[in-house]
């Protein structure tokens, strides 16, 4: 049985099964990683495996985790991964700014980088996770359900739902809100499946985005 990702792609008109975030496409260079180029010292399947903790392990221990790099990557492959991580880091920065503006009831403006329809690249570290043993299990999580991938999905979803702050009689509003609610639930379910405690700060921030997303969805249903 193939593990299917719960990730839905968002577009300006709503959510769709494909288009905004392609699971097999990279806007810069798709599929350039050679699976044999992985450095076994940089990937620890036990660390990345959500079920790696034993029954006696402390579930509250934070385990700082730095995204790995392939030791045998070419300069071009390293540059491509650097570019992807810069893009997602920029989205995090802009999302924090938008959240601050919303807190003080200020208009944040519109940013090209917050539109999910503009994305067609891998999540941070996804190009490695696609070949990691921890994400190859039949009934386990997929590469788009890593902690960092879920965080990026939550940011995109929250930015998409910010449109619900303004009243609208658009007939598609209810459908968009319903699909956003389902995507938020899918992200939370995948997040709950992680028992690795990798970077709990990222996990808590992701949950905060999901909480705020649900508030916006509720606002859309009321409107």
**Could you report the per-residue pLDDT of 121-173, keeping only the tens digit for each?**
999 888 877 777 667 676 777 778 888 899 999 999 999 999 888 877 777 88
Contact 197, 61 (CB under 8 A): yes
Q: State the DSSP H helix or E strand holding residue 156, giving kind and residue range, or none if neither.
A: helix 147-161
**pTM value > 0.85:** no
Domain assignment present for 201 = yes
User: Taking the mean position of all CA atoms in its chain, how far away is CA 202?
Assistant: 11
- The 10s digit of each residue's pLDDT in 197-212 is 767 888 899 999 999 9
% of the chain beyond a pLDDT of 90? 29
- 10: which strand partners? 15
Q: Is residue 27 assigned to a domain?
A: no
13, burial (CB in 10 Å: exposed 0-12, middle 13-18, buried 19+): exposed
Give residue 40's pLDDT. 36
Domain range spanning residue 163?
A: 72-222
Task: Specify if 61 maps to a domain.
Answer: no
> What's the structural domain count of the chain?
1
Question: Is there a domain that residue 84 lies in?
Answer: yes
Banded model confidence at residue 52, pLDDT cuts 50, 70, 90: very low
In this structure, is the dihedral angle defined by the CA atoms of residues 132, 138, 141 and 142, taken in order, positive or negative?
Answer: positive
| Burial zone of 110 (CB within 10 Å; 0-12 exposed, 13-18 middle, 19+ buried) | exposed
User: What pLDDT score does 142 carry?
Assistant: 78
pLDDT for position 56: 61
Indicate whether 26 belongs to any domain.
no
In-domain check, residue 12: no
1, part of any domain: no
Q: Say if 168 falls within a structural domain.
A: yes
């Amino acid at each position: 049985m193939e593990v299917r990702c719960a990730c839905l792609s968002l577009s300006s008109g709503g959510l769709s099964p494909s288009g905004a975030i392609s699971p097999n496409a990279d806007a810069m260079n798709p599929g350039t990683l050679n699976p044999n180029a992985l450095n076994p010292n940089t990937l620890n399947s036990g660390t990345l495996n959500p079920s790696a903790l034993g029954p006696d392990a402390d579930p509250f221990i934070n385990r700082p985790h730095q995204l790995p790099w392939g030791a045998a990557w070419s300069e071009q492959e390293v540059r491509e991964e650097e570019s992807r991580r810069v893009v997602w880091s920029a989205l995090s920065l802009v999302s924090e700014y938008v959240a601050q503006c919303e807190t003080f009831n200020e208009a944040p403006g519109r940013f090209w980088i917050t539109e999910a329809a503009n994305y067609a690249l891998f999540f941070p570290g996804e190009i490695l996770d696609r070949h990691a043993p921890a994400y190859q299990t039949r009934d386990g999580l997929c590469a788009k359900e890593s902690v960092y991938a879920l965080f990026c999905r939550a940011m995109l979803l929250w930015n998409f739902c910010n449109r619900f702050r303004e009243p609208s009689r658009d007939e598609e509003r209810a459908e968009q809100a319903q699909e956003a609610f389902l995507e938020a639930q899918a992200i939370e379910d995948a997040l709950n499946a992680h028992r690795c405690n990798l970077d709990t700060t990222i996990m808590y921030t992701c949950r905060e985005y999901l909480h705020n997303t649900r508030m916006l969805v509720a606002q859309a249903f009321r409107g």
